[in-house]
Amino acid sequence: MSRQLSVIGTGVIGNGWIARALARGWDVVAFDPDPEAPARTRAFVDNAWGSLERLGLAEGASPQRLTFVDSLEAAVQGADLIQENVPERLALKREVLAALDAAAEEGVVIGSSTSGFKPSDLQHDCPRAPGRVIVAHPFNPVYLLPLVELVGGEATEPGHIERAQALYQALAMRPLVVRREIEGHIADRLMEALWREALHLVNDGVATTEEIDAAVVYGCGLRWSLMGTFLTFHLAGGEQGMRHMLEQFGPALKLPWTKLEAPELTDELIDRVVEGCEHQAAGRPVAELDRRRDDFLVELLDLVHKYWPEAEGLEGRI
């Protein structure tokens, strides 16, 4: 039985959802008020399709299963899942989510791609069925990276999250249910901490953007493709694991090595960051860098699938 994803807002994230759903053999109905959106989305899907083919398409997968409609109300008709991707402005998201709640069929989950807002704030203007409005936060490129953070709000019941988990798993995603709503959820809070430290290192003249990225690419980033922070540090403790690591290195956490507050974004710092990134890009357009990143991720995903928990027989693990 075919499923339908309704996508509201077709920027980079919305288009990523579209490409992923098409690759999984879903029908996609999209709405974006920008008259240029359909052409932009089809070009996006064309650029991503080669990577999706190498990763493996579901039966019936086709870019031809994408339809654009001229209203939000038309977009949600027949939806199995609705994904909202409008710009990160709370008032705008509330307005759009309220309209979606009013128009969508009863019981259909409405996921917001918000990277920072709490679901209770998003549910605020949805009197009909606020509990079905949840955070469903993906990562770019959405069509390749499998993580989606699911966060319920004050009105959300366990059944809403359970339905959402099943639907996102059908899109070949790995849902991570966040136990308690918090601004920025989990992954973005971690990435923001690293981002702040990186800006301080540039601002203080310690390293260039290229040198900081190299520290991640050739060091911790390689480990993070398989093991996160905690398991990595567990191994650092040797045979005694995390307990020994904390006993030996824990006191260093009190040393002033890091600066959690972001530096002031002065014109000078902005120029240094922009110039550094342009140097790293070396004149290559973003579309070319996208394809290079995607080629890498397809090969990497093929490798890490062999080492993820289910490959070891650890079913039910994230």
- Which range among 78-87, 160-169, 248-257 shows the weakest confidence by mean pLDDT? 248-257
Q: Distances in Å between the alpha carbon of 210 and those of 194, 198, 206, 217, 314?
A: 15, 11, 12, 10, 38
Cα(128)–Cα(98) distance, integer angstroms: 9
Cα(155)–Cα(119) distance, integer angstroms: 9
3 close to 80: Cβ distance less than 8 angstroms: yes
Q: What is the mean pLDDT of the chain?
A: 94
Per-residue pLDDT at 252: 80
Cα(213)–Cα(226) distance, integer angstroms: 19
pLDDT tens digits for range 284-312: 988 899 999 999 999 999 999 999 999 99
Predicted structure pTM score: 0.92
Q: Distances in Å between the alpha carbon of 124 and those of 97, 107, 117, 128, 134?
A: 9, 18, 12, 11, 12
Q: Distances in Å between the alpha carbon of 102 and those of 29, 46, 72, 84, 222?
A: 18, 33, 11, 14, 46
Per-residue pLDDT at 81: 98
Cα(173)–Cα(158) distance, integer angstroms: 19
pLDDT tens digits for range 2-26: 899 999 999 999 999 999 999 999 9
Per-residue pLDDT at 244: 85
Strand order in the sheet with 4-8: 66-68, 27-31, 4-8, 81-84, 109-112, 133-137, 147-151, 174-177
